[in-house]
Amino acid sequence: MSLAYGRTTRAIPGPSMIPDRVLRAMHREAPNIYEGELIEMTATIAQDLKRVARTEGKVAMYIGNGHAAWEASLANTIASGEKVLVLATGRFGLGWADIARGLGIEVEVMEFGGRAAADPDRLEARLRADTGREIKAVMTVQTDTASSVNNHIAALGAAIRAVGHPALYMVDCIASLACEDFRMDEWGVDVMVAASQKGLMTPPGMGFTFAGPRAVAAREALTRVSPYFDWKPRHNPALYYQHFCGTAPTHHLYGLREALDMIAEEGLDNVIARHRILARTVWAAAEVWAEVGQIALNIADRADRSVAVTTLRAGPGDPARLRRWAEDEAGVTLGIGLPLDASLQHGGDLFRIAHMGHLNPPMIMGTLGVVDAGFKALDIAHGGGALRVASETLAEAMAAPADWAISAE
Ligand SMILES: *Cc1c(COP(=O)(O)O)cnc(C)c1O
């Protein structure tokens, strides 16, 4: 008998769960786009986005998804014919690389295999060998949403600086902003891209680029930038419509304003600590499931795991059966497996549990309970007692808040 009744749960890595507060903020008539509240609100949104990214740099907002932000980041910094180095740890670095190729940029991929984080030593060695300084940018993701790798952005940035290489450091935080610790200025990141529908808890439809001084200078050095993606007018709009090169995404702005208020009320450090605790809870359950049968965490090393999404391996066909059961019988949508290479095929032996954005203990414990019940209902071999261990992990983590304090790092 199906119990898929009432409120459904999207445990997928974007769009994430949208808070009722955000939905309510968007439920309004079309606002005045010439004067008043919307105009003033847009400036506060830009300020608060920079706060979340921990940067004094410039932010440009686009009507578009993460792919639009990918394209914008490259269109403003790298000329056709120039070369970039992409660190691949799953699918998403490769997706950004595809956009670069489409813009006529030469792409070199450094492959790390989708089961572990990018190695700063390999990056450092490659940059040392680039004596002609042909590499104009190093591009990586913080959370690779396909593999659930967490790349160590500070360490990779340190490797670039150790060589004294002038390449721009460009980081995709689409799945990790407002989930994982990220400090654009402190870590030497020149360009960061983000989107509205993951940690920022707002419907898909807005993409963001953040640019430090070196990236702003790179834009100035280009002779031509496609007008829609040009971030220059968006950085310094003389007229309101220049924020968005046309009509503003009015309702998204109201939603995003509310989401940023929620992040500020909770405190960014607490938001990150909450993600870390809930991720530990998911890992605790998954590590027990993995003791029996073919279930496994895609990333073995905890230090290399994203706090926003967890990719699991299972026997052939099992992820599809589990996802179907969770959706139809329990109202929980689990993430599909994505390929961890350049193919666009579904990763048939993978599935994902997202734990990003608007999420609390009953929501994540509910999802873990449904996955656990699904294994049993479908006779998928798994270690028993995962929920008990998850609840112990949760209780212990919540009792020791100092262990999770970001500012103490
Ligand atoms: C979701 C995601 C993207 C793509 O975003 P879209 O809005 O689907 O275009 C890019 N990079 C990462 C890391 C993502 O998680």
- Residue 94 Cβ inside 6 Å of ligand 1? The answer reads no
DSSP H/E element including 138: strand 135-141
Asked if 88 and 94 touch (Cβ cutoff 8 Å), the reply is: yes
- Which token pair is 231? 């971030």
What residue owns the CA closest to ligand 1's atom 5? 66
Q: Which two tokens stand for residue 50?
A: 């920079």
Q: What is the pLDDT of residues 240-298, one digit of tens each?
A: 999 999 999 999 999 999 999 999 999 999 999 999 999 999 999 999 999 999 999 99
Any ligand 1 atom below 6 A from CB of 172: yes
Helix (H) or strand (E) holding 354: strand 350-354
pLDDT score of 38: 97
Q: How many helices (H) and strands (E) are present in the chain, helices listed first?
A: 13, 14
Please tell me the predicted confidence (pLDDT) of residue 221: 97
Provide the whole-model pTM: 0.97
Q: Which residues contact 236 (CB under 8 A, 6 or more apart)?
A: none
DSSP secondary structure string, 278-306?
HHHHHHHHHHHHTTSTT-EES--SGGGB-
Tens-digit pLDDT string for the chain (409 aa)? 999 999 999 999 999 999 999 999 999 999 999 999 999 999 999 999 999 999 999 999 999 999 999 999 999 999 999 999 999 999 999 999 999 999 999 999 999 999 999 999 999 999 999 999 999 999 999 999 999 999 999 999 999 999 999 999 999 999 999 999 999 999 999 999 999 999 999 999 999 999 999 999 999 999 999 999 999 999 999 999 999 999 999 999 999 999 999 999 999 999 999 999 999 999 999 999 999 999 999 999 999 999 999 999 999 999 999 999 999 999 999 999 998 876 656 667 999 999 999 999 999 999 999 999 999 999 999 999 999 999 999 999 999 988 887 765 5
Ligand 1 in reach of 203 Cβ (< 6 A): no
Atom of ligand 1 minimally distant from the CA of 195 = 7
CA–CA separation, 160 vs 210, rounded Å? 19
Ligand 1 center–CA 300 separation, angstroms: 23
Of 218, 246, 232, which Cα lies nearest the Cα of 64? 246
Q: What is the 3-state secondary structure (H, E, C) of 182-216?
A: CCCCCCCCCEEEEECCCCCCCCCCEEEEEECHHHH
Residues 175 and 13 sit within 8 Å (Cβ to Cβ): yes
- Cβ-Cβ contacts under 8 Å for 351 (sequence gap 6 or more): 311, 312, 314, 319, 322, 323, 334, 335, 336, 337
Pick left, alpha or beta for residue 133 (phi over 0 → left; psi -120 to 50 → alpha; otherwise beta): left
Ligand 1 mean position, distance from CA 175 (Å): 7
* Cα 256 to Cα 49, 168, 196, 207, 220, distances in angstroms: 10, 29, 8, 12, 30
Return d(Cα 191, Cα 215) in angstroms, integer.
Answer: 6
Give the relative orientation of helices 250-266 and 268-289 as an angle to the nearest 10 degrees. 80
CA of 312 to the centre of ligand 1 (A): 19
For strands 135-141 and 168-172, give the pairing: parallel
The residue written with tokens 């019940």 in the block is 373
Distance 254 CA to ligand 1 centre (A): 22
At residue 277, the pLDDT reads 97
How far does residue 59's CA lie from ligand 1's centre (Å)? 18
Query: Which runs of consecutive H residues, i.e. helices, occur in 267-382?
Result: 268-289, 318-330, 361-377
- Atom 3 in ligand 1: which residue has the minimum CA distance? 66
- Centroid of ligand 1 to alpha carbon of 66 (angstroms): 5
